[in-house]
Structure 1
Amino acid sequence: MDTLFIVLGIVVALLVLLFIMSYVKVRPDKAVIITGPNGSRIVTGKATIRIPFIQRIDYLPLDLIQVDIRTSSAVPTNEFINIFVDGVANIKIQSDEASIRLAGEIFLTRSLEDVKQIAKEVLEGNMREIIGQMKLRELVQNRDKFAEQVKLSALADMKKMGLDIVNITIQNFADKNGVIDDLGVDNIAQIRKDASIARANSEKEVEIATSKAKELANDARIKAELEIEQQNNSLALRQAELKQKADIAKATADASYEIQYANEAKTINISKQNAEIARREKEIELRSKEVEVEEKTLEARIKKAAEAERYAREQKAEAELFVRTKEAEALLAEQERAARGLKLQAEAEKFAQEQKAIGIQAVGIAEAEAIEKKAEAMKKMESAAVLELVLKSDVLPNIVKAAAEPLTKVDKIVMYGEGNQTKLMGDIVNSSTKVLESVKEATGLDLASLLAGFATGKLTQKDEPKE
């Protein structure tokens, strides 16, 4: 099992190593030529796979290659003036597949310096050819034209090697005889001459121009003054017209302002009047509320005073009723005492009669027995005699009078609610009843029962038929 894992590990490692060796990533500034048994293919700016040990890889640079071009010996111009030229050219291998294959066939086994040297020889040869076709002044004054013609002349030869000329820059022209310097002196003299002529012409033209300018200026001044006068007149007329319109507009605006002001004042006055009316209405309403509150307060005060007065009168009436009740009770007690005195007098008379009867016992047994029977009859009819005595006396009227007398001293009784009259009469009757109960407790005489029995007897006698 361990051997199997080792074998698998070795196989995996070999596969990874094979993949690494097979994987090729090409930069944009490089070209790769992969050559194998079945031919070759070119890859630029992408990744690819190649078969190790079977396919070959070769690299070509696609970036710029700078080449110094200068004539090592003097080259005669069209005017047979020997000059030296110094410049720089930028070249590169073209990016199309055919150019890469062509450059690969030529430069694949060469170094970069070999490529520069081959390109330099081609460019310098074409540059010598173009120098012989042009004049010195033209070369010096139009370097771009010279560089462009060299490029066009050498481009065909460069393409045959898969190369392209990006640009050519001419840096310097020189000669050993000082011809270029003399051209400069001649140019300077000519320039000075041209400058003097130009200056004279300029001064002449300045004078002419000055005179003409003065004439034109005078004409222009006169014309301008006329135009200014016309413009002033037009301005005055326009100003008058504008002033008239402004006055009309101002008058209209003033009138509108007055009207608007009057309308605004009217509106403000109306608003003030409405506000004053509203304020007065609010004051009236507030005053009405205050009067209503005052009326309710006064009514409450009057009602409270009336209730207080009624309560005072009730308290006074109760006090007077209490006094009257006490007086009636005192009178009833006096009458009870008088009744007891009469009873004692009757008993004394009875005792005197009994003593008289005993003293005159000699009168006869019949008379004694009659007297005794009469005494017994009187004793048996004691309640009836007392009731008759009470009825014939003014005891009961005095009791009722004493109970109702406090009411005679009350001027006016104000009753609130229902059933108060019945309650008042009930209080008077209850007072009389309490007096009768007091008599019963003091003397043992139940006047209420006696009166009820008496009334029943009367009614019985009235209802019995007469024989």
Structure 2
Amino acid sequence: MAYIISGVKKKSKVVIGKASIRIPFFERLDKLNLRLIPIDVKTSNAVPTADYININVDATVNVKISNDPEKLRLAAENFLNKNTEYIASVAREVLEGNVREIVGKMRLEEMVSDRQKFANLVKENAEPDLAAMGLDIISFNVQNFVDGNDVIENLGIDNIVKIKKSAAIAKAESERDIKVAQAAADKESNDAAVEAQTEIAKKQNELAIKKSELQMEADTKKAMADAAYEIQKEEQRKTIEVTTANADIAKQEREIELKQKQVAVTEQSLEAEVKKKAEAEKYAAQQRAEAELYQRQKDAEAKQFEAQREAEAQKAQAEAMRFAREQEAAGIRAVGEAEASAIQAKGIAEAEAMEKKAEAYAKYNKAAVAEMMIKVLPDIAGKVAEPLGQIDKITIIGGGEGGSNGVDQIAGNVPVVMAKVFESMKEATGIDLADIINAESYDAKVNRNVNVSGLDSVNFVVKDDGTKVTMAKVEPQNSTKPVSTDVPESGEQG
């Protein structure tokens, strides 16, 4: 960038690449760009050459504002505060005029064959005009010459033919020389190959003879070595067989001893295993029995403890209520105490009853089964009669045999089924429920004689009103002792 300071002095000051001083308000500062300005120069229409052939010229030119002080002042006068596009347009017009001038002075063949000469002539012709504006031409390159009649293309035909002719002649001569040289080389190569193969055949014969001699010598030595090897091998085989036989005998003896020891060890192991297993089963059975006994005791204790805790809790609740209502009448307080005592007594009684029941269950087997079977008899009878309850409507045509009708037959199925149930229970458990039920009959109440078959000697529990409990001794059916029962008097139920 060139800085131009003007104003005070008659001659402006130009500063390039250094510092300077400008007096404000009295001096002015302007700038000029010194960078290259590329310009594409093309003739706007065809230009006739010296031999009257119209062509168009395309060239590329680089110009710039000169660094020379005189030219720089001229550039400042012409292009100060102008942009590069304006400078390029002015220089393009000047260059295009000079191109037209040089094209008119030269022949087409001369321009095409020597583009550098054309470029130099244009440059020399245009430099004074551009210097007068303060510009320098840095480079001028011709890109292309174009004509509309293919004259430039036709100029090269003669040269192309000459070049092709010369190339064909040179190629033929080269191929000839190559073939001659190749034939000579083949002859020399063949002679050398024959001579080499002859020498190879001689050497191979000598080698074969030498191999035969060496092979014969080697076979002789090998036969001697094989014979010695076979002799030594036979001796080693005999030694090995003897040693192997001795080793087999020793091995069999060791195996017999080992098997005897294994049998002894197996017997001891089996004896120890059976003994330990029996002891372990015995110990496990003892532990299970003790655990079951301990569990039953703990369950009874837990139930008793829970009953006591419940009674204590109810008692505490009663006491709290009594404390809350201590201002009420003495009668209400007495009632509360009585209720608390009753609750406590009931809890203790229930605990004792449960404990007695547990002891009773531990003492008898089939009696408990009979009691449970008696309890489920109403459910069984209900299930047997349930199909009759599902009947919405019955239509009976005719009567049954013996004067009975269909309704009697249907209703009579229930007792028959119950009787079959009693028989099945007797066969499965040995308990005759019919005999137990007959205990409530007239014969049982009047004669006080109840015959229950199939039960072992057990203690049979007979309850009356839920609080009084009596014990009856029941003997087996085949016993000579009479069956003893404690049947309550005056209508009490056993």
Say yes or no: TM over 0.5: no
Q: TM-score, normalised by structure 1?
A: 0.37
Question: Relative contact order (C-alpha < 8 Å, sep 6+): which is higher?
Answer: 1
Q: TM-score, normalised by structure 2?
A: 0.35
